[in-house]
Each structure stands twice: as structure tokens, then as C-alpha cells.
Amino acid sequence: GVDKVVDAILPTLDFTETRFIANVSGSTVEEYYNVTKRFDDSPIDAIEINISCPNVKEGGVAFGNDPDMSARVVEACRKATKKPLI
């Protein structure tokens, strides 16, 4: 999960010549926020929001299929970080 990536994997990477982008996903808007927030203080350069994941609370529909849900996810991720969002 995100904790292993931030705590064990990122410290082993060389960030001097390569840009790193984290891909975040979740089953709820809150999960997107929490995962994005966890990467906020890490050395990654940007965050890609994977909105093709199913929204479990809304019957499994992908967040990206609903413009309002997509907006909620992006808004939550923006609140969690100042890093560029893709």
C-alpha cells in the first residue's frame, strides 16, 4: 500500500535525474484524499489521479463515469496536496 511505498520504496530511489509520478486510486473520495495526503510530503513530483476505479459506495460505478464524482475526487486531492495533479 501507500505506506510501504512512502516508507520503504521511495527512500531507495534516486530523484536527482528522474521525475516520479505517483498514481493514486481509491474506492471512496476519502480514500483518494488519504492516499494523496500520504504522498504530499514525499519527494515525488506529481500525482496522477486514477478515476477509473469503482466507487464502492455508489454501486461500483467508476468515478470517471460521473462528472460530479470526478470533480469531488479532484477537489479532495487538491485539498490534500499542492503537487501537480494529472
For the chain, the domains span 2-80
User: Is-catalytic flag, 53?
Assistant: yes
Query: Could you give the CA distance from residue 86 to residue 78 in angstroms, rounded to a whole number?
Result: 11
pTM of the model: 0.86
AA letter at 71: A
**pLDDT (tens digit per residue) in 19-78:** 999 999 988 999 999 999 999 999 999 999 998 765 556 655 677 888 998 999 999 999
Helix (H) or strand (E) holding 24: strand 21-24
The pLDDT of residue 18 = 93
Q: Whose CA is closest to 45, among 21, 62, 9?
A: 21
What distance in Å separates the CA atoms of residue 49 and residue 73, rounded to the nearest whole number? 8
Is 2 a residue whose pLDDT tops 90? yes
User: Which listed residue (53, 69, 76, 77) is catalytic?
Assistant: 53
